Structures are given as structure tokens and as C-alpha cells.
């Protein structure tokens, strides 16, 4: 049997839903008031991936440090993958995604020199109207080297497990 440990970064502007997503994924609930800004560096989720494979996922939420706009190298160190999230009703959070992605790619690369597998999450898809057109997201995701993008709703528990599973599959291939 094999054990994998993956450090996954969760980044994006403030208020897009990062902490809620980690909380939803790890604790299987949606809590409107939860905010983890103190105490823990990461949340841990253990996945029985197959009969012979166990995966430990460390989700590193930048909780509250978005004001620094770019993170220190320590935070990126030994990461295996990344989730960049924006809020579909907040176009400025979408415009910031390219900065987050460039900062990520400049600070960490795979051993082979390629970029870290990174998925783009268009969160709060339960709300309307969207402030960012779907075709714009689609084009941007392709042009910016994401492994893909998904619309998510932490509130409705839509595509949270699915998107992280997709990222894990790509990290397993590395």
C-alpha cells in the first residue's frame, strides 16, 4: 500500500469563499460565520483513494493574509498543487487571479520545471447575476495554464469534492 502527502494551497482575494470551502470539504458543513484566521496553518483531509492508496491532503488557506497580495516563499514551499478561487459576482476578484497565478508560478515549479497543477474555481455560482462571463473564464483558464476550471458553490456543496478530486488526479500523475 502507498501513502501520499499533498500540500495544496488555497489562494485568491478575500471574501471569495476560501475558508468556507476548506471548512466544507474537511468538516462537511457550511457555516456562515466560521473564519479561521488563527491557530492552524492548514486543514487535513485523509482520503481512502483506492484499496492500496491513502492520500493525506493538507489544505493551506491563506486566511486573512490576502492583503499581502503576494505570499512568502515559505508558504509555497513543497506544495504539490494549488486552488485559485474567485467570486463570480466580484469581477475584481477575477482580475486578481492572474496576479495570484503569476506569483505562484514565479515562486514554485515542479522538479521538471513545469508549473504546479492549479485549478481555477469560480465560486458562488448559486448567486446571480454573474459579473464575469463564462466564455471569459473559459478562455482565461486555458491561456493561463490552469489544469481546468469549475463553477462551484460552497453554499450548495456544488463541485467541491469533484474539483478537488480532479486536482488530486493530476497531482498523482506528477
Write out the residues near ligand GDP by the rule CB under 6 A: 14-20, 32, 35, 123-124, 126-127, 153-155
- Residue 26: CB minimum distance to ligand GDP, A: 13
What minimum distance in Å lies between the beta carbon of 154 and ligand GDP? 4
Residue nearest ligand GDP, CB atom distance: 17
CB 63 within 8 A of CB 19: yes
> 3-state secondary structure string, 72-92?
CHHHHCCCCEEEEEEECCCHH
Neighbours of 113 (CB within 10 A): 6
d(CA 143, CA 154): 26
Question: Between 55 and 75, whose beta carbon lies closer to ligand GDP?
Answer: 75
Nearer to ligand GDP, 96 or 141 (CB): 96
- Which ranges of 77-156 does DSSP label H, i.e. alpha helix? 91-95, 97-107, 134-143
Q: Tell me how far, at minimum, the Cβ of 31 lies from ligand GDP, in Å.
A: 8
Minimum gap (Å) between residue 60 Cβ and ligand GDP? 12
Q: Please state at what angle helix 18-27 crosses helix 160-173, rounded to 10 degrees.
A: 90
| CA–CA distance, 120 with 87 (Å, rounded to integer) | 11
- Identify which of residues 36 and 144 has a Cβ nearer to ligand GDP in the complex: 36
Residue number, 19 or 141, with CB nearest to ligand GDP: 19
Amino acid at each position: 500500500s502507498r501513502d501520499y502527502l499533498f500540500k495544496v494551497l488555497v489562494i485568491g482575494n478575500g471574501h471569495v469563499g476560501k475558508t468556507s470551502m476548506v471548512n466544507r470539504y474537511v468538516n462537511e458543513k457550511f457555516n456562515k460565520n466560521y473564519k479561521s484566521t488563527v491557530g492552524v496553518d492548514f486543514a487535513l483531509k485523509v482520503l481512502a483513494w483506492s484499496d492500496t492508496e491513502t492520500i493525506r491532503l493538507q489544505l493551506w488557506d491563506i486566511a486573512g493574509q490576502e492583503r499581502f497580495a503576494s505570499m512568502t516563499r515559505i508558504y509555497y514551499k513543497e506544495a504539490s498543487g494549488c486552488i485559485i478561487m474567485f467570486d463570480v459576482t466580484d469581477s475584481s476578484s477575477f482580475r486578481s487571479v492572474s496576479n495570484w497565478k503569476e506569483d505562484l508560478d514565479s515562486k514554485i515549479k515542479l522538479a521538471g520545471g513545469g508549473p504546479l497543477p492549479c485549478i481555477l474555481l469560480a465560486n458562488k455560482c448559486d448567486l446571480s447575476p454573474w459579473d464575469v462571463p463564462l466564455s471569459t473564464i473559459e478562455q482565461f483558464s486555458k491561456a493561463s495554464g490552469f489544469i481546468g476550471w469549475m463553477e462551484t458553490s460552497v453554499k450548495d456543496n456544488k463541485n467541491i469534492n469533484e474539483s478537488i478530486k480532479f486536482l488530486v488526479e493530476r497531482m498523482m500523475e506528477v
